[in-house]
Structure formats: structure tokens, C-alpha cells
Amino acid sequence: MSPLSIARHHFPPAIIQHAIWLYLRFTLSYRDVEELLAERGIEVSYETVRRWVVKFGPAIAGNLRRLRPKPSPRWHLDEMVLSVSGKLMYLWRAVDDEGEVLEVLVQRRRDKAAALKLMRKLLKKYGFAPTQVTTDKLRSCGGAFRQLGLTAHHERGRRTNNRTEVSHQPVRRRERKMQRFKSPGSAQRFVSVHAAVYNTFNLQRHLVSRRTLRNFRAQAVAHWRAATAAA
């Protein structure tokens, strides 16, 4: 766990941590966060909030990932279209069968090379091969799996891949709120950080009792505090 180096900042760590949490946890703009802080008597410009997110977001995401348990070996892969600076790009996403976001990757193409890049990152990141992979009917995925020599059962079908389709929805909401992404690099940085925060606070509240939800929520908050601890 790498503590955040917040020393020598004008604002105390608690305010910086809370501002970053508001932006990454909810569908808010930087100006929305500025207004929420101002209501509490904290005068922070939206540009300052943006700099905090850019500076500390990747480190927080890395800390949150270290606190996550090992994912399921049943993976779902899919891609969605993004408009970045007026150009069409693809956001490739891999989740497990419990909705844990394993990897997100912004790429220019929807082909075998893009599928290979995503799978290689997944295999290197987690150190094990899946037992089952579910995709849509894109043939590029099958070709990538054969090239990598994966022996996992490959299931194809649009409805069978609903787990990934649902996982795209939070990014769609943020894309509209941000009035689309400005560059491939900024899009990749945001979706990577957002995925880590989403995994931490995605509590599947419709599947658990109220008591269990409180326990999960307390654990998520504890992980967030550990990941954002200042040096």
C-alpha cells in the first residue's frame, strides 16, 4: 500500500480525499463537486479538484486494486463505441461473472489485435487463465484465443454477455456528464481509475439483506480510507 504524498498542499488531506471521492464515486462534474464543497464553506475551484483527481487518482486506484480479492475464472469480454475528439474508438472491457471489472482498455480498432492486447494484459495482470470466456459474436475474439492457446470454454451470444453490457452503463453516464472524452489518453486514465472505485463500491445491494449491505458498505469505506491514507 502506497500512502499519498499530500504534504505541502494548501488544503488538508481530508478535504482532498473527500473531493476525489465525490467525483469518482458519483456521476458529478468538477463544477458539481465545487458547488458541494462550497455549500459546506470550503472554497475550492473546479480546476483544483481536476488536478487532485489527475494527480492522486491513479495511486488511489492502484491501492484499491491491491485490496481486492482474486477474481472468478469465468470472464466476460465486450466492447463499446466511444466518441473521442470526434473520432470513433472502442472501449474494451473484461469483467468476471460477479461483475468485478478486470480490465478496461481504450483502443482504435475492433479486431483480433485489439482482442489480443486485452487478453495479454489480463493474463499478465492476474497470472492465471480463465476456465470460461463469454463474448458476443465478434469473430476476432475467437481468433485471439486460438493464437494464445487458451483452452477455456468459449461461449458466444449477445444475451449471455449481459454481465458486461450492464457494466458499460456507469461509463456511459459519465461520458454524457463529461460531454465526451477529450483524448484517448484522458479516456484511458479515467476509465482505469473509475473501474477501481466502481469495484470497491459496487455492493450488489439488490441481492443482499440490509444488515449485509451495511457490513459491505463499512468494508468499502474502510478500503477507501486505507487507499487514500496520507503520508
pLDDT tens, the chain, 231 aa long: 778 888 788 899 999 999 999 999 999 999 999 999 999 999 999 999 999 999 999 999 999 999 999 999 999 999 989 888 888 999 999 999 888 999 999 999 999 999 999 999 999 999 999 999 999 888 888 899 999 999 889 988 767 777 777 778 888 888 888 878 888 898 999 999 999 999 999 887 777 788 898 998 999 999 999 999 987
Closest CA to 49 of 73, 75, 22, 80: 22
- Contacts of 32-37 with C-beta under 8 Å, sequence gap 24+, read none
Write out the residue limits of the CATH 3.30.420.10 domain(s) in the chain. Answer: 74-182
Cell of 3: 500512502
Q: For position 162, what pLDDT does the model report?
A: 75
d(CA 101, CA 85) in angstroms, rounded, equals: 25
> Residue type at 137?
K
> Residue 87's CB: how many other CB atoms inside 10 A?
9
d(CA 224, CA 231) in angstroms, rounded, equals: 15
How long, in residues, is the chain?
231
pLDDT digits (tens, 9 = 90+) for 188-201: 999 999 999 999 99
41's torsion region: left (phi>0), alpha (psi -120 to 50) or beta? left
Spatial strand order of the sheet with 132-135 comes to 101-107, 87-96, 74-84, 132-135, 153-156
Helix (H/G/I), strand (E/B), else coil: 92: strand
Cell of 206: 439488490
For residue 167, which phi and psi values (nearest 5 degrees)?
-65, -20
Beta bridge partners of 75: 96, 133
d(CA 77, CA 66) in angstroms, rounded, equals: 22
Q: What is the pTM of this model?
A: 0.89
d(CA 40, CA 50) in angstroms, rounded, equals: 19
Beta bridge partners of 93: 78, 104
To the nearest 10°, report the CA torsion of 54, 60, 62, 66: -170
Q: What CATH homologous superfamily does 74-182 map to? A: Ribonuclease H-like superfamily/Ribonuclease H (3.30.420.10)
d(CA 75, CA 66) in angstroms, rounded, equals: 20
d(CA 163, CA 208) in angstroms, rounded, equals: 18
